[in-house]
Amino acid sequence: CKRHERGGSANLQCRKVSLYGLADRARLQEARARCLGELAVQEIKLAWVSRPTNVARGTSEVARRTRGAGK
């Protein structure tokens, strides 16, 4: 799904997966979940980029945690 996200909605791409004949419903559901999961990750990244103050705060918190973990 990743390579198709730019070209259209992830939902359509997930439907295409079913058209290509994944007979096993579990595999089909897994493919859909993967598509939607990747889309959610992209949305979260976009949200972080659109709010630079949160990014700065988030990176400093991570740095603090990693410094504390070494002790």
Taking only the tens place, the pLDDT of each residue in 1-15 is 554 444 455 555 555
Tokens 């295409």 appear where?
Answer: 16
The residue that leads in pLDDT, 5 or 24, is: 24
Which one has a higher pLDDT value, 23 or 30? 30
pLDDT in tens, 31-67: 788 878 888 888 888 877 776 565 555 555 556 666 6
Predicted confidence at residue 45, as pLDDT, reads 80
Higher pLDDT, 47 or 70: 47
pLDDT for the residue numbered 5: 46
* 12, 22, 44, 63, 66 from 57: Cα distances, Å: 36, 44, 16, 10, 14
